[in-house]
Amino acid sequence: MQPNTNNPGAPKATPFAATVLGSPRIGPNRELKRAVEAYWAGTLNAADLEATAAGLRRDTWASLVDAGLDSVPVNTFSYYDHVLDTAAMLGALPERVAHIDDRLDRYFAAARGNDTVAPLEMTKWFDTNYHYLVPEIAPSTTFTLDASKVVGELRDALAQGVPARPVVLGPVTFLLLSKPVGGQGPLLGRLDELLPLYLDLLRTLADEGAQWVQFDEPALVADRSDDEIAAAARVYDALTAADVRPAILVASYFGSLGGALPALAGTGVEAIGLDLVAGADSVADVPALAGKHVVAGVVDGRNVWRTDLESALGKLGTLLGSTGTVAVSTSCSLLHVPYTLAAEPALDAALRSWLAFGTEKVREVRVLATALAGRRSDVDEDFVLARAASAARGADPRLHDTAVRSRLADVLASGAVRSSADQRRTAQAERLDLPPLPTTTIGSYPQTTAIRVARAALRKGEIDDAEYVRRMRAEVADVVALQEDIGLDVLVHGEPERNDMVQYFAEQLDGFFATANGWVQSYGSRCVRPPILFGDVVRRAPMTTSWFEYAQSLTDKPVKGMLTGPVTILAWSFVRDDQALAESANQVALAIRDETIDLEAAGARIVQVDEPALRELLPLRRSEQQEYLDWSVGAFRLATSGVADTTQIHTHLCYSEFGEVIDAIAGLDADVTSIEAARSHMEVLGDLNAVGFELGVGPGVYDIHSPRVPAVDEVVGSLDEALRAVPSERLWVNPDCGLKTRGRDEVEKSLRNMVAAAAKVRAAL
Ligand code: GLN
Ligand code: ZN
């Protein structure tokens, strides 16, 4: 590495060759989840929780060292969330938890709330399925440094002989991800207050013996104003001017840095991390990188495919020409992939050879670093295997089902459009004969103990499929009877048979497979097991019709057929990397379309196709958003345009801040859209009106995220408010979201009040 001429006191850290940006932390068998939940339940004490955590951290470091990494991230562990850890480190937990003395309990209260304290909001970590807690910054927030977590983990790692590189969320991203509250203006204005804390942190880490520190700045891969980029450059100029500090790696991930790259390269930071999987920054265009250590994310940190080593090595070779030095790395933290393929004993052998989970990716990093260092012959076998796997994958017939592909082409060529909204409205009104302000629910009813017991018994082989179906039907019958009794107008079967709204479908579609142990953290202690889409999607048989038919046989009222939309199925799966997402979406859409047609034939008058993830997949860069919206809306329309005008299509979206996707929601052209609105006071209706939305809409009239039962008059108030924005002919009455996480009693009370409120408002129309 070239000496840093701006700052003679700059550290002389040696560049490393192989690393990852972060690791999974829930434990290979979800040990952390169990320990944290036991602590919450009061059955595990803090010392035992800490011991579990320390054991997991050490195991992780040891496995990275054993795998041959020469720089190992530490402080990527978290009891709940690393953004919350950063807020705690900077003294920025909300005022309302300050009275809680115990630091762990204070931390968990900010994360989850308690009887008296509301938690921080949670939102998506960029375009991934991980959720972080949104720090609240008020004018009164006084930042103070508490480096105990990172220092504790660093000391422990160094004591084990680990070449530890502390990882901390950078100040720019921290502020950009936080939410201003209490009249606080734009948060970047407070960078100057954070600077002395980060300087202090640098000194502390250097004193503790850290050679390198990694500041994560993923916010810089989204569209940023010139002012924001300039602010980032100023911060890193100031941090690198410190007289005592470790060498600084600024890590970006989830896309290209674009204009932020020359700005960062112009500062004194020693290293820059680039995502060369999701991003395409060209090092050659930035002469200032010639003096830097470039940490090249060539191994995909967020998908599960085996790396094409040859092409990765090619990218690395290109970098070498225009940078100081190069390290091989993952494109982002391995937080987003399962621990290891070794935990998948039942996996099809061909599939296994195409995949790489966490452990396998670490090996790929080391193999590439070895080859880059000129010792290719030492790792030639890995290259041979990777090449063979990729050839076998390309030739596997499951990836190219000509029948399905030509059917898809035919359907697309036929236009896949519905008649005009007016025409449909008339046809449906006649057939459905619903009262004004029809009442309904979003689909799921409480997942009772009986349901969980039955699912566990089936998994363990204690009951057979027939017994399982019998028990689930009993649940359906209960839920239908309850809805009849409450007086709802449009019923659902309650979804007792669905473990998860994506996995349920993935398990029944060819082209997907479900892992046994492929857990990844979604938020806090919640883990999900995303299915893997590896081939062409074929629906072998109807997936939901028998449940619908049974429910409809119990009532004269319309029961909604209930499906998950193509975009959501992709968003919550690991997807193919050998074809465009748009193409995969259309294949899934075709399967869902076939299901809507079967539901219609089975007597469904209404079919709901949920797309709660539509907004999640939105690209971070505006320049890519329109293309995404075009194909995602197209896939939904493909899925929903196979039915007659008389069949009413509903959709459900779980959020109310539509922002860039508002036009797309109108574009879905669903006859009825249910959305979250209770927490945002029906503002969303105005937003929909502003884009000329004229279809049916069911703004949630009460918040299902809390156990509180809304009073009748409260719901009347919501409906009155809604009616100021939407004519009664278009308004539906429903809760905010599905009811599966709620208790049976509160659901019954809430729905009775909702139905009573609808009756009251109807009478006054
Ligand atoms: N139909 C699903 C349910 O009611 C929708 C869930 C969701 O939107 N996330 O549970
Ligand atoms: Zn929802």
In 345-482 the beta strands, taken as DSSP E runs, fall at none
- φ, ψ dihedrals at 674, nearest 5°: -100, 140
Please name which ligand lies nearest the alpha carbon of 440: 1
Tell me how far apart the alpha carbons of residues 187 and 632 are, in angstroms, rounded to a whole number. Answer: 33
SS3 at position 595: helix
Tell me how far apart the alpha carbons of residues 720 and 763 are, in angstroms, rounded to a whole number. Answer: 12
**Euclidean distance between the first and the last CA atom of the chain, given in angstroms as a whole number:** 76
Tell me how far apart the alpha carbons of residues 326 and 319 are, in angstroms, rounded to a whole number. Answer: 7
SS3 at position 300: coil
Task: Give residue 657's pLDDT.
Answer: 76
Q: Which residue's C-alpha comes closest to atom 9 of ligand 1?
A: 612
Position of tokens 């932390």? 25
3-state helix, strand, coil in the chain (%, to 5): 50, 15, 40
Please name which ligand lies nearest the alpha carbon of 501: 1
Task: Give residue 3's pLDDT.
Answer: 39
Q: Which residue's C-alpha comes closest to atom 1 of ligand 1?
A: 443
Tell me how far apart the alpha carbons of residues 706 and 407 are, in angstroms, rounded to a whole number. Answer: 45
Task: Check residue 268 and report its DSSP letter.
Answer: S
Helix axes 191-208, 226-240, angle to 10 degrees: 30
Position of tokens 């329309």? 637
Whole-number Å distance, alpha carbon 22 to ligand 1 midpoint, is 32
Q: Which fold has domain 402-446+482-764?
A: TIM Barrel (3.20.20)
Task: Give residue 2's pLDDT.
Answer: 41
Q: Which residue's C-alpha comes closest to atom 10 of ligand 1?
A: 738
Give the number of the atom of ligand 1 that is nearest the alpha carbon of residue 562: 1
- For residue 452, the tally of other CB atoms under 10 A from its CB is 12
Whole-number Å distance, alpha carbon 500 to ligand 1 midpoint, is 9
Task: Give residue 491's pLDDT.
Answer: 98
Among 451, 676, 737, which is best to mutate for testing ligand 1, by the most ligand atoms less than 8 A from CB? 737
Among 444, 567, 615, which is best to mutate for testing ligand 1, by the most ligand atoms less than 8 A from CB? 444
Whole-number Å distance, alpha carbon 722 to ligand 2 midpoint, is 19
Whole-number Å distance, alpha carbon 739 to ligand 1 midpoint, is 8
Helix axes 46-66, 358-372, angle to 10 degrees: 40
Please name which ligand lies nearest the alpha carbon of 444: 1
Q: Which residue's C-alpha comes closest to atom 3 of ligand 1?
A: 738
Whole-number Å distance, alpha carbon 444 to ligand 2 midpoint, is 10
Whole-number Å distance, alpha carbon 443 to ligand 2 midpoint, is 9
Contact 510, 534 (CB under 8 A): no
Among 504, 505, 548, 610, which is best to mutate for testing ligand 1, by the most ligand atoms less than 8 A from CB? 610
Tell me how far apart the alpha carbons of residues 58 and 53 are, in angstroms, rounded to a whole number. Answer: 9
**Of these residues, 99, 400, 681, 705, which one is catalytic?**
705
Residue 493's contacts (CB-CB under 8 Å, 6 or more residues apart) are 476, 479, 480, 547, 548, 550, 551, 559, 562
- φ, ψ dihedrals at 682, nearest 5°: 65, 10
Contact 203, 192 (CB under 8 A): no
Whole-number Å distance, alpha carbon 515 to ligand 2 midpoint, is 25
Please name which ligand lies nearest the alpha carbon of 494: 1
Tell me how far apart the alpha carbons of residues 235 and 243 are, in angstroms, rounded to a whole number. Answer: 15
Among 490, 495, 547, 703, which is best to mutate for testing ligand 1, by the most ligand atoms less than 8 A from CB? 495
Segment (H or E) for 563: strand 560-564
Whole-number Å distance, alpha carbon 442 to ligand 1 midpoint, is 6
Closest residue by Cα to residue 563 from 576, 535, 540, 544: 544
Q: Which residue's C-alpha comes closest to atom 6 of ligand 1?
A: 738
Long-range contacts of 412-417 (CB under 8 A, 24+ apart): 412/586, 412/638, 416/593, 416/637, 416/638, 416/641, 416/642, 417/637, 417/641
Task: Give residue 9's pLDDT.
Answer: 56
Give the number of the atom of ligand 1 that is nearest the alpha carbon of residue 443: 4
Task: Give residue 321's pLDDT.
Answer: 85
Residue 195's contacts (CB-CB under 8 Å, 6 or more residues apart) are 171, 235, 238, 239
Contact 517, 343 (CB under 8 A): yes
Residue 476's contacts (CB-CB under 8 Å, 6 or more residues apart) are 493, 494, 496, 547, 550, 551, 554
> Would the CATH topology of 31-395 be identical to that of 402-446+482-764?
yes
Task: Give residue 474's pLDDT.
Answer: 98
Give the number of the atom of ligand 1 that is nearest the alpha carbon of residue 441: 4
Task: Give residue 5's pLDDT.
Answer: 43
Give the residues surrounding ligand 1 with Cβ less than 6 Å away.
442-444, 495, 501, 562, 610, 612, 652, 654, 737-738, 740
Longest dimension (CA), the chain: 82
Residue 415's contacts (CB-CB under 8 Å, 6 or more residues apart) are none
Please name which ligand lies nearest the alpha carbon of 493: 1
CATH: 3.40.640.10, 3.60.60.10, 3.20.20.210, 3.40.630.30. Which one for 31-395? 3.20.20.210
pLDDT digits (tens, 9 = 90+) for 259-292: 999 999 999 999 999 999 999 998 888 999 999 9
Give, in order, the Cα–Cα distances in Å from 435 to each of 169, 430, 489, 490, 531: 54, 12, 8, 10, 41
SS3 at position 684: helix
Tell me how far apart the alpha carbons of residues 748 and 70 are, in angstroms, rounded to a whole number. Answer: 58
Read out DSSP for 98-158?
Answer: TT--SHHHHHHHHHH--SS-PPPPEEE-TTSS-EEE--EE-TT-------HHHHHHHHHHH
Contact 382, 309 (CB under 8 A): yes
Cα 10 to chain centroid distance, Å, stands at 39
> What's the chain's length in residues?
765
Closest residue by Cα to residue 215 from 254, 173, 175: 173
SS3 at position 562: strand
Where the chain has pLDDT below 70, the residues are: 1-10
Between vectors from CA 301 to CA 623 and to CA 27, what angle results, nearest 5°?
135
Give the number of the atom of ligand 1 that is nearest the alpha carbon of residue 740: 10
Task: Check residue 99 and report its DSSP letter.
Answer: T
Give, in order, the Cα–Cα distances in Å from 407 to each of 30, 501, 535, 609, 640: 42, 26, 16, 21, 16
Give domain limits for the chain: 31-395, 402-446+482-764
Contact 13, 7 (CB under 8 A): no
99 is catalytic: no
Tell me how far apart the alpha carbons of residues 23 and 340 are, in angstroms, rounded to a whole number. Answer: 12
